Structure 1
């Protein structure tokens, strides 16, 4: 029944229409540079519509903002299905997520210039099928569905200090590195989920927060250099964000060191915006060889020998996005012109014996904005994704299949996928992002000891995100 209601609701909103908003309002919606638009704890596409200052609680929201308190309240509904992918097809997962938090402007509250406290807590009260990842099983498709076995999570609790005319930013506390580094280039961030970034680099997926410290310096409104340290927990699904150590299950703790340079622009800054990011990473955690023991034998069949281990893993992330075409040839000041963009990103590990067994992973695609005059804020994407496993991981999957009673693993070493997705801006503060994907050589990385050869084929899903603070009028209007 829940699935039926969800799908009917999606179909209903897909056919709803939005009248064209006054685009001029967008030009003054905020004065943040793209490098300051840090992603939320549940990553979603940016809503390009002007923020609404109306709502049943607009007066109360404005009073809070005037006194230094900006509330954050969101609801996100996720749905994933694998009719043709993995070791157990025709399964689905749904997750409902609420986030509650606030930013406290300490200059307004106590006169401390440039100081801000960020806090956010996440609740996932309704979850259907925690085993979806194992059922879909593959590096690309199986990783898309979130695994949240605990209902409540601290996702953000930091102190941020801006100095040198706000060019220098210092921040420390509990946070997720994915909100500052390797920001998604694709149309719908759900399709940019990377097992390499989350598990090998150690940028644990949202909503999992870890102790952190970062420093960023804006060389210009477009160009930023940044470095950071995060404590990473290999047992992140079983933490709640408040732990001072590894939490209940006692996962391996490691240190993640990140450094990047990012250049980001939008249509208010350039006629044909360009964004790129170059990031280097190092995780000092012990890496367990996916296949070999210390005697260079298969760990699947030689259980008496210790598994071979190495220390640390490093690598690089590269991403870029460029607007290639505008219908108005750049002659108007529209912040949402009819345009076409292209993007690509890739993460390459330098240690082929990393625990997760992924050598490189990435995506590339084309974005179409403002395709229809009646829906100027919608966007559409066509993307290609890949994940190439290491030789050690491929050998492990082959032996694990035989050990489980399988007839032999027949899947290639590189999983690829094509996807279509869209962001439908249903109203101010409401975004629906459906997708459909077809994958080839879908592996069993998330369920290696399955006797079934995983199937390749179709998967689909959708995300509905509601900025409740904006809908209720709690976001207020900040004077700049």
Structure 2
């Protein structure tokens, strides 16, 4: 079963928007990228370098842009979780095509976005070959969600099919179709970090990971070069309806359970205009689906919301100057964080906090064939609602476990680094220490999960002709 991303994939786990990783090459591109922010947790702008002249250049000239991203994740819960010492992994191959209708059909400022996802490999499986989630070993909201578990198959999933148009010289942007609002809101702010997730967004919003989608749309208005206001709406559907025909039921609306809405205000600068870039986001979300209390199942209500505030700032730079191109961005040091709160005690997470630092382009001597892009350290905290903990204890007791409660305060301390090998490969090793894990995902174990270490690596292969 797919887990909520973020936020893909949320996760899941996703590719983040690099903090000032690349800059537009010319004035025309700069104007286009100055349109309302659309950070895609799968295919973040800035990760893909220009291809050599050839087929890619020809496709660009015709208005066809392809981006491919293959994520390979492998993690082991060395000493944490409900069942320690297990390894899990997943391969996710994301393929996105953007069609510039101005070049293809003489429709100015219009684009079609298409994305398909393949899950070619998963480990482990049970005796019958069925998928076993890594989370069933590592267990918790912070310790078992390093990638989106999915059955292995070479059958493609249609994850995105939208039409986008920009108006008012690029200040107004409208997009609608089969979409997932986690692509455009709650934008990752950890730089080059595949593990930059927001637990409350993943587990409380009710929006599935970005490999699935439903009918929806968004509108964004650029108030100034740095300030963008956006709002979006998306249909919520039963999980069986979302995955019908691997998502190729593109515009189906059956199995609706409610409506998800989100509003966002963002201030963001980059190295093209500021020597010390900043990023501040305020997001409000609300879903009118019916919510049942996880412990007292006879209690239910309709409607659940929350807020997510994100911030990031570069406070030191080698040059203290702006940069004309992405290659000119100096080594820099910055902090980032997230504050999130839910207004519903029937949801798993009451509130959460993330604080971290990122050292971009550190000057460390390495062999010529490898580059160190970023070193990241962060601490994540979530406060779990009591009804969720009682429900988890009830599940463990039904399996023969004790009546011991787990703590409502859960932490993840993480250190990671991201390396580039050539133009197309990035590698991110990570080590995490989970404190007071819950048993949200280990639903088949009677064990009370224990604090401890978790290690893993993510390898990304980037393709395309942007």
TM-score by length of 2: 0.84
Q: CA deviation at 1:370?
A: 1.7
Is it true that 1:329 corresponds to 2:283 in the alignment? no
Aligned twin of 2:383: 388
User: Are the equivalent residues in 2 in contact too, given 1:288–1:310 (CA < 8 A)?
Assistant: yes
Structure with the greater alpha carbon radius of gyration = 1
The equivalent position to 1:123 in structure 2, one of 109, 118, 123, is 118
Aligned match for 2:140, one of 133, 138, 141:
138
Partner of 2:300 in structure 1?
309
How has the CA–CA distance of structure 1 residues 35 and 168 changed in structure 2, closer, same or farther, with 3 Å as cutoff? closer
**Unpaired runs of 5+ in structure 1?**
1-22, 294-306, 476-480
Alpha-carbon distance between aligned partners in 2 of 1:180 and 1:112, rounded to the nearest angstrom: 24
Q: Deviations over 1:172-199 (max 9, x none)?
A: 1112212100011124543222342133
Alignment deviations for residues 364-422 of structure 1 (CA, whole Å, 9 cap, x no partner): 10111121165776111110011211011122223332232112324211110110011
SS of the equivalent of 1:411 reads: coil
Aligned-residue offset at 1:219 = 1.0
Structure 1: 4+ residue segments shifted above 3 A: 32-41, 43-47, 187-190, 236-239, 243-247, 329-335, 373-377
**CA separation in 1, counterparts of 2:139 and 2:258?**
26
Match 2:223 to one of 184, 195, 219? 219
What SS does the corresponding residue of 1:166 show, helix, strand or coil? coil
Matched, 1:174 2:178: yes
1:60-75 equivalences under 5 Å are: 60-75=55-70
Instruction: State the match for 1:53 in structure 2.
Output: 51
1:153 equivalent to 2:157? Answer yes
CA distance in 1, matches of 2:359, 2:34: 20
Aligned partners of 1:84, 1:358: CA distance in 2, in Å?
A: 24
Structure 2: distance between partners of 1:27 and 1:440: 42
- Cα–Cα, structure 1 residues 60 and 195, in superposed 2: closer, same or farther, change >3 Å? same
Q: Is the 8 A contact 1:77 1:463 kept in 2?
A: yes
TM-score (norm 1): 0.82
Q: Which runs of 5+ in 2 are unaligned?
A: 1-19, 125-131
Q: Look up the match of 1:184.
A: 188
- Relative to structure 1, the CA distance from residue 454 to residue 217 in structure 2 (aligned partners, 3 Å threshold; closer, same or farther) is same
How far does the alpha carbon of each residue in 1:320-361 deviate from its partner, in whole angstroms, 9 at most, with x for none? 00111123333876742121101111221101123xx21122
In the other structure, the counterpart of 1:18 is none
Give the 3-state SS of the residue equivalent to 1:220 in structure 2: coil
**Structure with more helix by fraction:** 1
Q: In 2, Cα distance between the equivalents of 1:399 and 1:144? A: 26
Change (3 A) 1:458 1:150: same
RMSD: 2.6
Is 2:193–2:418's contact at 8 Å kept on the other side of the alignment?
Answer: no
Cα 1:450–1:188 change in 2 (3 A) is farther
Q: Please, which of 351, 354, 357 is the counterpart of residue 363 of structure 1?
A: 354
How many residues end up aligned between the 2 structures?
425
Partner of 2:273: 269
- Counterparts of 2:84 and 2:102, CA distance in 1: 54
Q: 2:431 aligns with which of 426, 436, 452?
A: 436
Instruction: State yes or no: 1:345 paired with 2:338.
Output: yes
Cα offset, 1:145, TM superposition:
2.6
Do the aligned partners of residues 462 and 88 (structure 1) sit closer, same or farther apart at CA in structure 2, a change above 3 Å counting? same
- Quote how far apart the aligned CAs of 1:132 are: 0.9
